[in-house]
Structure 1
Amino acid sequence: MATASAWMAERHAEGVTLCSVCAGAFVLAETGLIDDRRATTHWAFAEALAERFPVVDVATHQMVIDDGDIVTAGGILAWTDLGLTLVAKFLGDGVMLATARFLLIDPPRRDQPSYGTFLPKFDHGDAEILAVQHHIHARCAEAQSIAEWSQLAGMTDRTFLRRFAKATGARPTEYLQQVRIMKARNALELTNQSIDQIGWSIGYADPSAFRKIFHRTTGLNPWDYRQRFGISRGKGQPEGGR
């Protein structure tokens, strides 16, 4: 990796625009050229990249980040987004759009959240926190509180909050929300339940609140998410379920 990064640094010094796709951001980060700069990678590698190179501003909500002399792209298939971004950069938007039409692909995508998946940590070694996680996953539709979780873990609220965040990387309320949205995604992808029914089934009595939280988490409203990722593509969806 050191040889590759050294070669890239040499090309950059010659005026070459450097690019990375997916895990290629790790090699790019080895050059030191994205220190204190924004860069993206696949959402599943974001935490590892940030831990290994803490001076890099990892921004995985974006599919492509054009920082002038350096361009980074997200997942492995984001090379199409990167390629079209470079075409637009050097040849203009008109040529880029013509290229996209010829290749039968969409213009460059700008975000990643709708493709990301919640990956809870269970191998952190904290047995008390693990028990709370299992409780949250099993009863995510029920009303839950910090006090209830703290009691289950046998800790004070303050100790519980600190240990939960250390073990999982998230606050308990955020974790619960991620679990609920994960289950909502699955239902939207695999069932024909109405959107309101799905919201109710995971603990959101207010359909409007569910839609807002889902959009904030995924970047899409539930209807658009189902249209993009659902097996049935939303066919037969009751009008009231939108």
Structure 2
Amino acid sequence: MSPTATGPHVDETGARVVGEVGLLEYAECQVSAIHGLRDIFRVASEFAVASADPPSVIRVSTWAVSATDDGPVMVCTSDTHPELAHRLSHVVIPPSLVVPELMASAGEFTDWLVGLRSEGTTLCAVCAGVFVLAETHLLDCRDATTHWAFAEELARRYPKVRVDASRMVIDDVDIMTAAGILAWVDLGLTVVDRMLGPSVMLHTARFVLADPPRRRQSLYREFTPRLQHGDTDIREVQARLHACLREPHSVEHLARAAAMHPRTFQRRFKEATGLTATEYIQAARIAKARELLELTSEPVAQISRSVGYLDVSNFRRLFQRTTGVTPSEYRRRFGIVARVDRREYSSAGQPARIRSTPSR
């Protein structure tokens, strides 16, 4: 069944239907994302009915492939406004619960997605769902994000896609992509902002206890060094680096330890790890600093020195550039020790005792 274009809709309550968002169900997709997006759009519609002039709602439908004698067809499996003709303004491809390498081909609905795009529908994809959209080749020569752990595979499989894994949501007007497996919240709120306005979006975010749409996933990205690259000399250098992060390291020193010319070392290191030696050292140090901020109450200055940065102001600057937040803010949000301390209340209900206050 193909959506048909009609004029503006008004539902049976008199509310203006500002658009229809279709949610694509496919094998191994994250069903909780479909249910969660339904809830976000319903909450947003409740706020828009109460506060917008005229009262407005978002129509939500779900779509799946159905086998028929004539072959697979797309059918609507649920609809908040079944009395109205379909006119999809947005389609959302939710995350997959399996890694991209194990996902089934999206061939059954690529033609459907391409057809919708030609009719003006905005196509949206989240996390590994971006691979479904990429299979249509509609992302060729376009910016797209995905989960940071899948970015390299997306770029390898679809080299024409400009992968930017630093961003949480990329809203490119007719195509939207979102990064992590829970980034459907960010994407859903972005769609609400577009369809019902920023005021309704903020009310919705507060009601569902979510932050407004995040723009970067650098705060959540982990450093996962490549080790299975086959270059044993470079792997030994990596092991030394991780064992001695507080020590000063220069390309010349590392090349000498590996018995290589500096230019040869730099070339082989980049080929093996995907990063220059300087980028690798910085990433490893920041990753260790994040771990210490999460698991200890050591002052920031002490952590800075322990990962090789004697200049704490330089460390703070690099940390914020990498993660998007200061070390103290990172600890406040992710520090296990700080969270446990804040929960320690006396039997008399006195304020929590914080044994160690992070340095600022």
Segment drifting more, 20-29 vs 5-14: 5-14
Once the two structures are TM-superposed, the CA of residue 112 in structure 1 deviates from its matched residue by 0.4
| CA distance in 2: counterparts of 1:5 and 1:218, whole angstroms | 36
Once the two structures are TM-superposed, the CA of residue 140 in structure 1 deviates from its matched residue by 1.1
| CA distance in 2: counterparts of 1:158 and 1:103, whole angstroms | 53
Q: Deviations over 1:89-136 (max 9, x none)?
A: 111111111211221222111110010000100000001111111111
Q: Give structure 1 stretches of 5+ with no counterpart.
A: none
What is the aligned partner in structure 1 of residue 186 from structure 2? 81
What is the aligned partner in structure 2 of residue 124 from structure 1? 229
Residue in structure 1 matching 2:319, options 208, 214, 220: 214
What is the aligned partner in structure 1 of residue 90 from structure 2? none
Question: Match of 1:72, SS?
Answer: strand
Question: Match of 2:336, SS?
Answer: coil
Question: Match of 1:173, SS?
Answer: helix
Once the two structures are TM-superposed, the CA of residue 2 in structure 1 deviates from its matched residue by 2.0
Q: Which amino acid aligns with 2:202?
A: L
Q: Which amino acid aligns with 1:162?
A: R
Q: Deviations over 1:3-46 (max 9, x none)?
A: 23222112212221111000111111111111111111111111
| CA distance in 2: counterparts of 1:50 and 1:236, whole angstroms | 46
Question: Match of 2:183, SS?
Answer: helix
Once the two structures are TM-superposed, the CA of residue 222 in structure 1 deviates from its matched residue by 0.2
| CA distance in 1: counterparts of 2:245 and 2:234, whole angstroms | 16
Count, aligned residues: 241
Which structure dedicates a bigger proportion of its chain to strand?
A: 2
| CA distance in 1: counterparts of 2:212 and 2:328, whole angstroms | 22
What is the aligned partner in structure 2 of residue 106 from structure 1? 211
| CA distance in 1: counterparts of 2:130 and 2:137, whole angstroms | 11
Once the two structures are TM-superposed, the CA of residue 238 in structure 1 deviates from its matched residue by 4.0
Which structure dedicates a bigger proportion of its chain to helix?
A: 1
Once the two structures are TM-superposed, the CA of residue 144 in structure 1 deviates from its matched residue by 1.5
Q: Which amino acid aligns with 2:154?
A: L
Question: Match of 1:166, SS?
Answer: helix
* Runs of at least 4 residues off by over 4 Å: none
1:87 touches 1:95 (CA, 8 Å); kept in 2? yes
**Percent pairwise identity:** 54
- Compared CA separation, residues 131 and 31, structure 1 to 2 (3 A): same
What is the aligned partner in structure 1 of residue 48 from structure 2? none
Once the two structures are TM-superposed, the CA of residue 232 in structure 1 deviates from its matched residue by 2.6
| CA distance in 2: counterparts of 1:218 and 1:99, whole angstroms | 27
TM-score normalised over the length of structure 1: 0.96
Instruction: Give the alignment of 1:112-151 within 5 angstroms.
Output: 112-151=217-256
**1:25 equivalent in alignment to 2:130:** yes
What is the aligned partner in structure 2 of residue 42 from structure 1? 147
Once the two structures are TM-superposed, the CA of residue 151 in structure 1 deviates from its matched residue by 2.0
Q: Which amino acid aligns with 2:114?
A: A
1:4 touches 1:27 (CA, 8 Å); kept in 2? no
| CA distance in 2: counterparts of 1:70 and 1:119, whole angstroms | 29
| CA distance in 2: counterparts of 1:238 and 1:15, whole angstroms | 53
What is the aligned partner in structure 1 of residue 177 from structure 2? 72
